[in-house]
Structure 1
Amino acid sequence: MELSKILLQRRGADLDDNPYAVHQIQHSCRTISYKHAKEYLVQHQEWLKTSIFDSFEERITHASPDSTIVIAYLSNNSPDLFLSVISATSSCVRALPALINTRWTVAEVGQALQSTNSNDMTLLLYGPEFRETAEEASRIIAHFVVSLPIPSLVRLGPIIVPESDRRRSATTNDYDLNACILELSRLPLSHDDALIVFTSGTTSGPKGVRLSHRALVMQALAKLQPPCRYSSKTVMLATTVPFFHVGGLSSILAVWLAGGTLIFPGAPGMSSKFDPSRLLDSLSHALPSNTLVMVPAMIFAVQKEMQPGETFPYVDLILIGGQSASNTTIDFLTETYPNARVVQTYACTEAASSMTFFDVTAERSCLVQSLPLAGDCVGVTPRHVRISIFDATKQPSLEAVEESYTPGIIGTAGAHVMNGYWRRGGLNPVRRFEEWYLTNDLGFWDEENRLYFCGRANDVIRTGGETVLASEVERILAMHPSVVECAVFALPDERFGEAVCCALVCSGSCPCVSEVRKFCAKEGTLAGYKRPRRLFEVEELPRNSSGKILKFLLQERFKDAGRLRSKL
């Protein structure tokens, strides 16, 4: 069974009148019910079939068997975008949807969609802000491309003024979610490619990932289970989770499967990009969001916009992705959102979203305070996900690490794993050893079978014959009260081969570099070879569209700073 059919059939008559999406307009709002959303989904499907036929009729007639049609989406979040993407996953459309990162340059868009097969075809659908980018990208792509605006088929309901009691608790279910999960997990879900999502390209260029209908549904269902517990009472802010990221797409699907509501601040047509001030305004609305999905960089941006002592008691759930949140960030969240469960995830695009969940609010006090290894607890897996730790020294063979606190490469297996990488002109094979997909992330188990994430396997510094985990040094430096965030990276060093270096974002006007240097020199803080030999204070850390820090840009920026070695 395909994704579009599941969403069309999922909602029952008892929930069809529930709001699927809400546009907050000043103190009022306009809604779209599930009943009407399903009708618009079908309309988008018919529009796509007609547009593809009109655009490519002659080429389809004379196309070679190996030619493909891709529907590429370049747009900020909107109800029409989501419904069009889901409608495109149907086999009756005869094309494969691909979600394009809106922060890419024209050249990056063209490179992602380029093909070695001149018979391939692309329908490039764009939102109102991206017409120029889409048209420029169309001109540099060698094969046949047609660019069109995403049709505005959604019609909003009348203006309503919500009552104060419309503020709903996301943890209260009004129908049996367990029955819903059981029903959907038993469906004959298709293993065929549903769509393409691109990786963030932290260590190399972005890669297209082929995700199946089954993978997307199973990972969305994981968010209906503890500790997230999406339900028909979930009201999720839609502007913090770009649909082109797998975490955003998975959360949007989970909201639909649970019968929840998406919130879009502002009138239709307004930009739906993340804006911290608009987020705060949205949380003060008569119908506020009770569920936030954010990366730590967003949390930091919101914190800078807030008034002292401001709190939001109606928020029930904060789901953190992208990277691990520091203890300082967690403390801020628990103070600002006093009734919220804070859930840390561990995810990757190749696994169709989150592989583990850790309820920080409930379980942080249960963790071992003095670990023999440095790592961030990311929790346990949902039932359909398998994870194992493999000895990195034994590759290419696989040997699982059974002992607690023994690091290795994180591998995962199950229906959630991608079908493979994608490239126009051919399908790339999945990066697997036997049935396992190896993430290139380092991790270990504790005694309670909770997973800890230690960073990327290639995010290590080899200095003077010793190996230093960048994440371990970052975790220690983040304990200093003046350090807002930091990034540890390597620079060439004539004496040690590589030198441990660190870029710091500091708060206040104190001499941060000198204070951190003294902090590192304290006995028992860091071993001598782990202490940063060069410290650089910066206003902000460079990040990609997922909020992940791009350390290669720091290395490029400070590559000529070799003579500025500290005395540590």
Structure 2
Amino acid sequence: MNLSIVFENAVSRCPKKVALIEGDRQYTYGELEEHVWRVASAFQRLGIRQRDRVMVLLKNRIETVVIFFALQKIGAVFAPVNPYMSFEIIKYCANDLEAKVIIYEGDGQNWIKKIMFNDRPILISLEDDSHSDLTYQELINYKREHFEEPIISDDDIALILYTSGVTGTPKGVPRSHMNEYSSTIAHIFQTRLDMGEVCLGAVPFYHTMGMRVLLSTIMLAGKLVILSDFDPIDALKSISKEKVTSLYLTPTMYHDIIHCSKLGDYELSSVNKLAYAGAKMTKALTDKCFSTFNPKHFVNHYGSTEIYTYTTCSELNEKPESAGKPGIHQNIRVVRADPFGNATIDDLVQPEEVGEIIVNMNSPEAFKGYWNRPDLTKKAIRNNWFFTGDLGFFDQAGDLYVLGRIDDMIISAGENIYPMEVEEVLTQHPQVADCAVIGEPHERWGQIVVALIVPKEPGLNAQELDRFCMQHEKLPNFKRPRKYIFVPEIKRTVTGKVLRNQTLQHEA
């Protein structure tokens, strides 16, 4: 089923029901459909055809949702890119996509004029500016007429999402209609969403988590409460005012909400389902989420842009550090970890033994390969299995635990050390607000463990942290940090993944 039909079905069920809320604006499903039709017709009159790529540099907005479904209706490709990315990355994505159209807002005009396009796209801005060819308002003013209904296959590309580019140039990940439909069905099942769910649209739509919230809400004829920029007070206001029932956020977002000084001023009893993804959540934060929201269901989702679901854990009260068991569409293995890419799908490791997590590509949630990058596709997909680059292990009960990236693994005196397990211990110190662990070259040991620490208050020192680590029952001596660097903040991606080297470079 293609995503345009998903939208049409939701509209037919409840045309007068509120679909979207953003600030003081709201659209019913019927109003949303009218705007989608108008923009889709306008796109066709501008010469945008099936499979053309449209680069979207917008925050979460009602307009972004309209554009998304308008492009699905004409069979074109929605390609959202983080508008806060550097000029070089935005330029790279525009030319990598060979974008037929670029839609932007605000400060976008400052860099649009600087890009040397391989082929100059149509430029559409949300507001009037001197560099655009037309505005969003002009699209809306088009009438519904002369629409050519395309034949859309389940395997046609619906959108292209770019990975965060933590380690280099971002990779384009094409997602078919089947990929997105299957991933959304899995998300609904795994997080136990209901018809008419009221969801908070806080994670950006240029991320797979944001797209999942959008599509699952529409599929269930629910109400999406959109936040264009995440702010914990705005989130609390929206949850309380709109009686939000389901949250799917990053651990950083949950942290900011729960530690907000205004938390007690808002009624949160409507929330009964919690889910998180994007990064690991500490046990302390997991416990805080339970006590703050008292949810009926609380789910940890582990996956990627390439394959939406790997595993989920809904037993966070018993196994807060676990990523759980494979999703409904998945087959997962853990094989010998080889940073040089020489491991095979049959190099299986035993339970409790750490290796690389790989995922079978037969899942309908799985992409087919990277956009314009056959070299990376060949490296990542081997014998129909996706090599994630993540390290982890299965316990005796078959639950998966994730320990970080192969590239982040520290080898000290021949021993493998995984930053996440050291970070988990450090965050238990009452004076540590945040931390990240990296490896530093050492002449004798090969590498030593270095801890980057954000203290809650001045006065915390290395001696105190070293004493804490030495006495901690879960941290063997050889994994103990040998050096502590105090920093003002830990650099992270939008989903909360630690940018280890960038944090160190920033401090330097």
How far off is 1:542 after superposition?
0.8
Partner of 2:204: 242
Task: Tell me if the contact between 2:489 and 2:503 (Cα under 8 Å) persists in the aligned partners.
Answer: no
| Residue 88 in structure 1 maps to residue 61 in structure 2 | no
Task: Tell me if the contact between 1:461 and 1:500 (Cα under 8 Å) persists in the aligned partners.
Answer: yes
Distance in 2 of aligned mates of 1:121 and 1:80? 19
How far off is 1:439 after superposition?
0.5
Cα distance 1:24–1:135, how it changes in 2: closer, same or farther (>3 A)?
closer
Secondary structure at 2:503 match in 1: helix
How far off is 1:427 after superposition?
9.7
Distance in 1 of aligned mates of 2:317 and 2:303? 23
Secondary structure at 1:422 match in 2: coil
Partner of 2:78: 97
Task: Tell me if the contact between 2:251 and 2:280 (Cα under 8 Å) persists in the aligned partners.
Answer: yes
Q: 1:229 aligns with which of 171, 192, 197?
A: 192
Q: How does 1:415-494 map to 2 (within 5 A)?
A: 415-423=364-372, 429=377, 431-494=380-443
How far off is 1:41 after superposition?
2.0
Secondary structure at 1:488 match in 2: strand
Partner of 1:123: 101
Q: How does 1:296-335 map to 2 (within 5 A)?
A: 296-307=251-262, 312-335=268-291
Partner of 1:7: 7
Q: How does 1:497-536 map to 2 (within 5 A)?
A: 497-522=446-471, 524-536=473-485
Task: Tell me if the contact between 2:437 and 2:451 (Cα under 8 Å) persists in the aligned partners.
Answer: yes
Distance in 1 of aligned mates of 2:441 and 2:376? 34
Cα distance 1:278–1:307, how it changes in 2: closer, same or farther (>3 A)?
closer
Distance in 1 of aligned mates of 2:473 and 2:293? 34
How far off is 1:146 after superposition?
2.3
| Residue 355 in structure 1 maps to residue 354 in structure 2 | no
Secondary structure at 1:472 match in 2: helix
Task: Tell me if the contact between 1:231 and 1:259 (Cα under 8 Å) persists in the aligned partners.
Answer: no
Q: 2:55 aligns with which of 72, 79, 83?
A: 72
Partner of 1:395: 342
Amino acid corresponding to residue 303 of structure 1 in structure 2: I
Task: Tell me if the contact between 1:506 and 1:512 (Cα under 8 Å) persists in the aligned partners.
Answer: no
Cα distance 1:320–1:365, how it changes in 2: closer, same or farther (>3 A)?
closer
Partner of 2:496: 547
Partner of 2:129: none
Amino acid corresponding to residue 325 of structure 1 in structure 2: M
Partner of 2:169: 205
Secondary structure at 2:303 match in 1: strand
How far off is 1:290 after superposition?
2.1
Partner of 1:162: none
Q: Which runs of 5+ in 2 are unaligned?
A: 127-135, 142-151
Task: Tell me if the contact between 1:389 and 1:401 (Cα under 8 Å) persists in the aligned partners.
Answer: yes
Secondary structure at 1:103 match in 2: coil
Cα distance 1:519–1:22, how it changes in 2: closer, same or farther (>3 A)?
same
Distance in 2 of aligned mates of 1:410 and 1:428? 17
Task: Tell me if the contact between 2:19 and 2:29 (Cα under 8 Å) persists in the aligned partners.
Answer: yes
Distance in 2 of aligned mates of 1:136 and 1:288? 43
Secondary structure at 1:112 match in 2: helix
| Residue 23 in structure 1 maps to residue 22 in structure 2 | yes
Task: Tell me if the contact between 1:52 and 1:123 (Cα under 8 Å) persists in the aligned partners.
Answer: no
Secondary structure at 2:258 match in 1: helix
How far off is 1:72 after superposition?
0.4
Distance in 1 of aligned mates of 2:322 and 2:153? 32
Amino acid corresponding to residue 93 of structure 2 in structure 1: A
| Residue 264 in structure 1 maps to residue 226 in structure 2 | yes
- Number of matched pairs: 482
Distance in 2 of aligned mates of 1:381 and 1:253? 22
Amino acid corresponding to residue 323 of structure 2 in structure 1: V
How far off is 1:453 after superposition?
1.2
TM, length-normalised to structure 2: 0.87
How far off is 1:250 after superposition?
1.6
Cα distance 1:491–1:379, how it changes in 2: closer, same or farther (>3 A)?
same
Write the deviation string for residues 72-102 of structure 1: whole angstroms up to 9, x where unpaired.
Answer: 0000111221221232234x45x43311112
Amino acid corresponding to residue 72 of structure 2 in structure 1: T
Distance in 2 of aligned mates of 1:377 and 1:195? 31
| Residue 135 in structure 1 maps to residue 116 in structure 2 | no
How far off is 1:134 after superposition?
5.5
Cα distance 1:142–1:551, how it changes in 2: closer, same or farther (>3 A)?
same
How far off is 1:199 after superposition?
0.3
Cα distance 1:497–1:557, how it changes in 2: closer, same or farther (>3 A)?
farther
TM, length-normalised to structure 1: 0.78
How far off is 1:341 after superposition?
3.0
Secondary structure at 1:490 match in 2: strand
Cα distance 1:517–1:415, how it changes in 2: closer, same or farther (>3 A)?
same
Distance in 1 of aligned mates of 2:185 and 2:140? 26
How far off is 1:458 after superposition?
1.6
Secondary structure at 1:293 match in 2: strand
Write the deviation string for residues 507-541 of structure 1: whole angstroms up to 9, x where unpaired.
Answer: 24452533211101226453222111111222210
How far off is 1:142 after superposition?
3.1
Write the deviation string for residues 455-493 of structure 1: whole angstroms up to 9, x where unpaired.
Answer: 111211112232211111111212222222211001222
Write the deviation string for residues 151-173 of structure 1: whole angstroms up to 9, x where unpaired.
Answer: 25779xxxxxxxxxxxxxxxxxx
Partner of 1:412: 359
Write the deviation string for residues 16-49 of structure 1: whole angstroms up to 9, x where unpaired.
Answer: 3322112343xxxx53222332232222211111
Write the deviation string for residues 256-291 of structure 1: whole angstroms up to 9, x where unpaired.
Answer: 1111110136xxxxxx11112211222232x23222
Cα distance 1:428–1:536, how it changes in 2: closer, same or farther (>3 A)?
closer
Task: Tell me if the contact between 2:78 and 2:158 (Cα under 8 Å) persists in the aligned partners.
Answer: yes
Write the deviation string for residues 409-441 of structure 1: whole angstroms up to 9, x where unpaired.
Answer: 1111211111211139x8974631111111111
Q: How does 1:160-239 map to 2 (within 5 A)?
A: 190-226=154-190, 228-238=191-201
Task: Tell me if the contact between 2:349 and 2:355 (Cα under 8 Å) persists in the aligned partners.
Answer: no
Cα distance 1:500–1:132, how it changes in 2: closer, same or farther (>3 A)?
same
How far off is 1:547 after superposition?
2.4
Amino acid corresponding to residue 355 of structure 2 in structure 1: G
Partner of 2:232: 276
Distance in 1 of aligned mates of 2:238 and 2:11? 29
Partner of 1:251: 213
Tell me the C-alpha RMSD between the 2 structures: 2.8
Amino acid corresponding to residue 419 of structure 1 in structure 2: K
Q: Percent identity?
A: 24
Q: 2:35 aligns with which of 18, 21, 40?
A: 40
Distance in 1 of aligned mates of 2:462 and 2:119? 53
Distance in 2 of aligned mates of 1:459 and 1:211? 28
Write the deviation string for residues 523-567 of structure 1: whole angstroms up to 9, x where unpaired.
Answer: 6453222111111222210112332211111343467xxxxxxxx
Distance in 2 of aligned mates of 1:110 and 1:89? 24
| Residue 495 in structure 1 maps to residue 444 in structure 2 | yes
Partner of 1:381: 326
Distance in 1 of aligned mates of 2:346 and 2:323? 22
Deviates more, 1:40-49 or 1:318-327: 40-49
